[in-house]
Amino acid sequence: MINNKELESLIKLLDDPDEEIAQHVEEKLLSYGNEVIEYLESAWEQSFDAVLQERIENLVHKIQYHSVKKELELWYHGGAFDLLQGVIILNKYQYPDMDPLKIINQIEEIKREIWLQMVYDMSAIEKVKIINHVLYSIYNFSGNTTNHQDPQNSYISQVLESKKGNQISLAIIYSVIAQKLDIPIYGVNLPQHFILAYIDEAKEYISEEGVLFYINAFNKGFIFSRKDVDSFLKQLNLTPAKEYYEPCKNEDIIRRILRNLISSYSKLGYDDKVKEIEELLAVVETEK
């Protein structure tokens, strides 16, 4: 239980001129975690002291950041089974007040629209054409070609709102919805691109031979073959490797989003964000 009087006293001491006291108070408030945020926000509203307000803002951010880091650790070490959950955790880094249910409901709404257009015994190509029609013609999703480096392209809440994203965010929305409909579409970690693979369910295990065809979610769900992947790798002067053709793990996708964010924030000169996201990347790069 939070002791209100103790909290009030601690918050008042946040702007103590003695750095050691202020530091000790901050650590104590940090230990309370998310529960203390509403008290801090209330204190911020009631204060006219710019120094105290800034310290409260920094402290709220630290608490929220630690919460994201802890959630990401639990997701990763818990098996990283739910890609959408992992993406929502990363979304909380930039949008801590965003209700995850809103994201889940938006995904469910698109899924329902696709499901209503499905009929029994459709071929893989026919299923993909319906997904493409709903995503790109009804919901108007498209690749953000004008501002490809924008960090907003990596946050699912923003992509669902703006209907614009990068290769990986659009592929995530595409594959998450497909899998919810029991359509075997998974992400493939191709260098300088992120694509999707439609898996042949008749195969006993997923391998490059088990891919029926590939999908480019960034280009309105364009369908292409293994030969096109070969050509793409040739253009990049890369030797074909198994992982360029097969579905990757959820944690690989999360790592790639984090690397994209590091690149985007570096270009914008947001060094503090770069440092924090590097710490999040380190969480999902540790040995399990």
| 109 and 8 housed in the same domain | no
Yes or no: say if 260 and 154 are a contact pair by the CB < 8 Å rule. Answer: yes
**What is the CA angle 218-222-225, rounded to 5?**
115
pLDDT for the residue 149: 86
Residue 288 lies in a domain: no
Residue 267 lies in a domain: yes
| 63 and 89 housed in the same domain | no
| 211 and 135 housed in the same domain | yes
pLDDT for the residue 130: 97
| 248 and 125 housed in the same domain | yes
Among candidate residues 148, 191, 192, the one with its CA nearest the CA of residue 166: 148
Tokens of 182: 């029991």
| 31 and 123 housed in the same domain | no
Model pTM? Answer: 0.88
| 128 and 239 housed in the same domain | yes
End residue of a domain, out of 77, 101, 133: 77
| 192 and 50 housed in the same domain | no
End residue of a domain, out of 23, 54, 77: 77
What is the CATH number for 12?
A: 1.25.10
Residue 154 lies in a domain: yes
pLDDT for the residue 137: 97
| 132 and 44 housed in the same domain | no
Residue 202 lies in a domain: yes
| 66 and 87 housed in the same domain | no
Residue with tokens 């253009």: 235
H/E stretch holding 105 reads helix 100-117
Residue span of the structural domain in which 25 resides: 4-77
| 16 and 95 housed in the same domain | no
Listed as ranges, residues in the chain with pLDDT below 50 are none
| 114 and 211 housed in the same domain | yes
pLDDT for the residue 208: 56
Residue 118, CA atoms < 13 Å, CB-side half-sphere: 20
